Every structure is written in structure tokens, then in C-alpha cells.
Amino acid sequence: MSQGVKTAIAGVTGYAGAELARLLLNHPRLQNTPPVFLGRMGADETTLLWDLHPQLARNDGSKSPEVVPFSWEQLKAGGIEILFMATPHEQSREWAPQAIANGLRVVDLSGAWRLYERANSAVYKLEDADPAAAAKLQAEAVFGAPELHRAEIKSARIVANPGCYSTSVILPLAPLVQKNLVDLDRGIIADCKSGVSGAGKAPTAKTHFMHAADNLSAYSVFGHRHTGELYEQLHLTADQIRFTPHLLPIPRGILSSIYLRLKKATTKDALDSLFRSFYAESPMVRVHAPGNLPQIQNIVRTNFCDIGFELGPNGRDVLIISCLDNLLKGAAGQAVQNMNVMCGYGESEGLL
């Protein structure tokens, strides 16, 4: 699949689905093979993409793509090769095995396939019609962080897109944790703040304008569903990392402040070299110079994860700041990045 892969998106109505549609419609490799947009299974009629997302409309006289009812027959007839699922966790858990059985490759944006240990995945309260088959597919699923699992993603049949918060914590910590430089007995604090779109399109009392505007609030303390991804991908325990998410009164973007202590004193230049070496082949990670800390306004509507740090006077205390757009690097952009890896395209194609 080196050119013109045939794709489909299930779940195009939400924020992440809209961004995914925009990216695929403008992807340079897909100009002759635009994605198929899928609505609800069993729906009686089609809708138009531009009616759902007017921001995607074009001024070239082209007709709006149809959002057609979901069906496996539709996917087979269209020769679809990669199915993106921007669907609820329960729906993705049900449909992914069927997609694989129909010869499709899957990039799932939900949390249905991200977690391998039952103690962590239980937060989603998922039930499988065939637990044995689901467990087998779960073992095959690849955690879709290209910077960490590029080789496995390339040949994967199912890629589980990481959570937005977890991406913002895993990427800045991975270089240090993998080198065994962190004093885990002192623990890691991940203080993370996200725009309101991270909660999805359906309004709730806490994402309502009257609650979120002019406010900053912590939520899901000691129980956020992305926490298990930190444990599994960084090989940490609950005693070694504390993650607390907060709701920012902005539409999109995440800023994570990560506090840790190193086992041995080091220098700013050494830390800078470590980060740059680790991400030398990762075009979607931008490492800032020491003391130049990332800001949300510089990553919004991009697929970059920006990483910067400050080193304390003792050479051991480190503050890392990471920023990303929760709808792009934290969702749709990372999904397209995974597709690029799966198809042998340049990793940043369609994302810059």
C-alpha cells in the first residue's frame, strides 16, 4: 500500500472525527482515493459531511461527500484497506474483530484496545461476546505511539491510538525512564491541563460554558482512564507516578507539567542531548532548548508534541513541560501519523 490507500472513517460526527476527515481529505497520498465516511449502522438515509462540519466546505464547486450508513458490505465493495474508528469504546470493541475478520486494518481512536492488563482496562467496563477471541486480538494490538512503536505499527493489523493525556506524559518521560535515570522512589508528578474538547462533543454539566469558563478544575483524581497507559507504556506502578488532569477554559490543547528527581546529578546540555538523540527520527516531536518552555498557543492545530525542561540548581530536580493539541497529536493527527507508518509513507505527510 505505497500509494492511494483506501480508507474509511466510522464515527465522523465528533470533534476528532471532523479533524480526521479534514486531514484525510487533504492528504497528498489520498487525492485520488478520498475516504469513505460512515454513519450509524442501519441508518435509513445518508447525510452530507459539510452539513455536519461546515468548516470543511470547499469553494471549488465540489459536492459535499456523503456520510453513508455503516455496513461491512459497503467496506468490501469499496475495497477499503484501513478503517479508522472514531467511535465509542464499546462500539470499537465490538467492531474491530469484525473488521479484522473482513481483511481490514484498523486504527482505533477509542480506548477499547489500548490497555493489555485487566486491572487497567477494567475502567472502560467493556464486555466481549467472545472473550477468548478478544483477548487474542488484544495481545496483537499495537499501542499507536509511532515514536515508541514504529516498527510494530508498520505491520500491525490493529493500532490502538493513545489517549491525549497519556501521549503528553509518555513522550516526555520515555527518554528518561528507558535510560533508568529517574529516582522512582521519589515518584513522578504529572500535573496536566486540557481544553474542553478533550471531553468530547456531548455536553455535560462540567463542560457547559457556565461551569468551564473563567474556571480551572481538577477531575478524575486517582482514577482517570488514561492512567493505565502510563503504567503499561512506561512500566511504572501507582506508587511511582501521580497523574492529575485539570479542565482549562479553552477549546483545545494540553499542557503537562511533570516533576521528577534524577538518580544522579546531570547538566542541561546532557539532558538536552538525551532528548534530541531519542527523538532524532521523530518529526512530530519538537525539543525546545533548555529553559525555553512550550506553550499551548504554539501547538494548537498542529500535530507536534513540544517538549522543554528546566533543571534545578542541584542538577537532579527536573521540570518537564509538554504541549500538544488533544484533537490532533492527541487523537486524529496521531491516527494519520500511524496510517503513514502502516503504509510506508513519510511519517509527517499530510500533517505539516
Q: Which residue is it, cell 497523574?
A: 243
Q: What is the pLDDT of residue 1?
A: 44
Residue 266: CA atoms inside 13 Å, Cβ hemisphere, count?
A: 20
Given 164, 192, 305, 323, the catalytic residue:
164
Question: Which pLDDT score is estimated for 3?
Answer: 67
pLDDT at residue 165 in the model: 98
Based on the residue annotation, tell me whether 164 is a catalytic residue of this protein: yes
Integer-rounded Cα Rg, in Å, for the chain is 20
**Listed residue (62, 61, 80, 56) closest to 70, CA to CA:** 80
DSSP string, 262-330: BSS---HHHHHHHHHHHTTT-TTEEEPPTT----GGGTTTS--EEEEEEE-TTS-EEEEEEEE-TTTTT
* Per-residue cell: 272: 538536552
Q: How are beta strands 188-194 and 217-218 bridged, if at all?
A: unpaired
Calpha distance 269→289 (Å, rounded)? 9
* Separation CA 322–CA 254 (nearest Å): 8
Tens digit of each residue's pLDDT, the chain (352 residues): 456 899 999 999 999 999 999 999 999 999 999 999 998 776 677 799 999 999 999 998 899 999 999 999 989 999 999 999 999 999 999 999 999 999 999 999 999 999 999 999 999 999 999 999 999 999 999 999 999 999 999 999 999 999 999 999 999 999 999 999 999 999 999 999 999 998 888 778 888 888 889 999 999 999 999 999 999 999 999 999 999 999 999 999 999 999 999 999 999 999 999 999 999 999 999 999 999 999 999 999 999 999 999 999 999 999 999 999 999 999 999 999 999 999 999 999 999 9
pTM for the model: 0.95
For residues 51 and 12, give the distance between their C-alpha atoms in angstroms, rounded to a whole number. Answer: 12
- Helix ranges (H only) for the chain are 15-25, 49-52, 72-77, 89-101, 118-121, 131-140, 146-155, 164-178, 209-212, 227-234, 268-278, 332-343
Sketch out the chain's domains with CATH numbers: 7-161+331-343 (3.40.50.720), 164-324 (3.30.360.10)
> Which helix (H) or strand (E) element contains residue 256?
strand 254-261
